[in-house]
Each structure stands twice: as C-alpha cells, then as structure tokens.
C-alpha cells in the first residue's frame, strides 16, 4: 500500500487502506450535538486510551470543540471537550470524517483514515518509529498537514498554531480506498481464473 516502506516494482501499489465509514459527517455531528459550522478538532492516539495532560488549555478555546476518543467511561461533554469511550458506538473513521482537523502521532492506521476522509492533519512525528521514514514524506506531499513537535503537543503550545491548522483545506479524494483496490485486483486476478 501507499505509503510503502519498501516499494516493490513487481507488486501493485494501492492507496492507503482504511476502514470504510459507517455514518456521514452530518450524522456524527448530530449525535455529538455539533452543527455543520462548529470548528471540531479530534485529538487521537488511534486505538490507545489516553488522557491528554494539556486538556486545560483546550478548555480555554471555547469556540472550538475537541473530540477526545478513548478518554472516558461514557460519552459526555465538558464545555467544549467531548469525551468518547473506547466502547462507543461512534466509529473512529466516522469521527475522523466529522472533524475539521485531526491531531495524532504518526501511525499507518490513523494516516490511512485521515487520508481517506481528506481531513487536515496536525501530525506528531515519531523519529524512532520505523515506519516514519515512509509515512512522513507521504503526509507532507499527499495530505493537507503541518507537523507538531512532541514537546509542543505535550505542553499545549501547539495551540498557537491552531488557526493555521484549521485553515488547511480539506482534500477531496475521488480515488478509491486501497482496500477496494485490493479487493478488485483479487477478484479480477485470482477469483476470475
């Protein structure tokens, strides 16, 4: 799949592979009590539960809503913070689609979901992560994105860049999800024979 750590000229290259959406952007925003124009930022570490230590800084930005998946036992709202439990019926790719911006450490699954949704990406590089050498150049060239240092993320100082991040345009993705490209190739080249 693209991005590839070790491209192989004998293999097909497909778009990033992500799970398909179950609900529309509008449906998810309605469930969360957000209107179409509410500025919404999702801060996620993929499927890893976490408590954002600088969440007090988020509360100061009352005109922006922050989705915090895997951050509580129940779906609940504290001012502009929306805590979404791990076992919520809200599907992670749908939350990505419903957001105006995703903030996350670099990892393939989140990259693929953000890419497919076309949502702008504030990414936190992981220099010691083996896939970073392939993922970061892809993010920089194929996705509306800006880097955020780990230090700025942990301290909340990245919020000074929030206007720039929220001004990034959403990408339109007419090409298919890599999962569909793989299924089509298998159907045409393996099952059809």
Task: State percent of the chain over pLDDT 70.
Answer: 99
Sheet holding 64-69, edge to edge: 76-78, 81-84, 64-69, 39-44, 101-105, 121-124, 145-147
Q: Where are the domains of the chain?
A: 25-191
Backbone angles phi, psi at 122, to 5 degrees: -95, 105
pLDDT exceeds cutoff 70 at 21: yes
pLDDT exceeds cutoff 70 at 15: yes
- The predicted pLDDT at position 193 comes to 66
- The predicted pLDDT at position 104 comes to 97
pLDDT exceeds cutoff 90 at 19: yes
- The predicted pLDDT at position 152 comes to 97
pTM of the model: 0.94
Backbone angles phi, psi at 16, to 5 degrees: -55, 140
Assigned CATH for 25-191: 3.40.50.2000
- Compute the distance between CA of residue 47 and CA of residue 28 in angstroms, rounded to an integer: 19
- The predicted pLDDT at position 191 comes to 78
pLDDT exceeds cutoff 90 at 160: yes
Q: Are 1 and 13 in contact (CB under 8 A)?
A: yes
Nearest in space to 77 (alpha carbons), one of 86, 67, 88, 91: 67
Which has the higher per-residue pLDDT, 30 or 53?
30
- The predicted pLDDT at position 111 comes to 97
pLDDT digits 0-9 by tens, 53-92: 898 899 999 999 999 999 888 999 999 999 999 889 999 9
pLDDT digits 0-9 by tens, 99-153: 999 999 999 999 999 999 999 999 999 999 999 999 999 999 999 999 999 999 9
Three-state SS string across the chain, please?
CCCCCCCCCCCCCCCCCCCCCCCCHHHHHHHHCCCCCCEEEEEEECECCCCCCCHHHHHCCCCEEEEEECCCCCCEEECCEEEECCCCCCCHHHHHHHCCEEEEECCHHHHHHHHHHCCCEEEECCCCCCCHHHHHHHHHHHCCEEECCHHHHHHCHHHHHHHHHHCCCCCCCCCCCHHHHHHHHHHHHHHCC
Tokens of 138: 């892809």
Nearest in space to 54 (alpha carbons), one of 164, 178, 162: 162
Q: How confident is the model at residue 36 (pLDDT cuts 50, 70, 90)?
A: very high
- Compute the distance between CA of residue 136 and CA of residue 155 in angstroms, rounded to an integer: 22
């Amino acid at each position: 799949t693209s991005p590839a750590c070790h491209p192989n000229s004998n293999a097909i290259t497909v778009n990033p592979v992500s799970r398909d959406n179950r609900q529309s952007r509008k449906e998810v925003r309605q469930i969360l009590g957000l209107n179409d124009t509410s500025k919404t930022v999702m801060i996620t570490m993929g499927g890893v539960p976490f408590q954002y230590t600088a969440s007090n800084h988020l509360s100061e930005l009352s005109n922006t809503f922050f989705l915090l998946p895997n951050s509580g036992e129940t779906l609940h709202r504290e001012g502009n913070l929306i805590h979404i439990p791990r076992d919520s019926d809200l599907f992670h790719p749908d939350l990505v689609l419903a957001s105006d911006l995703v903030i996350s450490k670099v990892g393939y699954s989140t990259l693929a979901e953000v890419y497919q949704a076309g949502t702008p990406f504030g990414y936190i590089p992981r220099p010691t992560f083996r896939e970073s050498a392939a993922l970061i150049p892809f993010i920089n060239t194929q996705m509306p994105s800006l880097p955020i240092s780990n230090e700025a993320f942990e301290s909340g100082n990245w919020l000074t860049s929030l206007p720039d991040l929220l001004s990034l345009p959403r990408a339109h993705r007419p090409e298919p999800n890599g999962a569909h490209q793989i299924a089509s190739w298998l159907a045409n080249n393996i099952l059809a024979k």
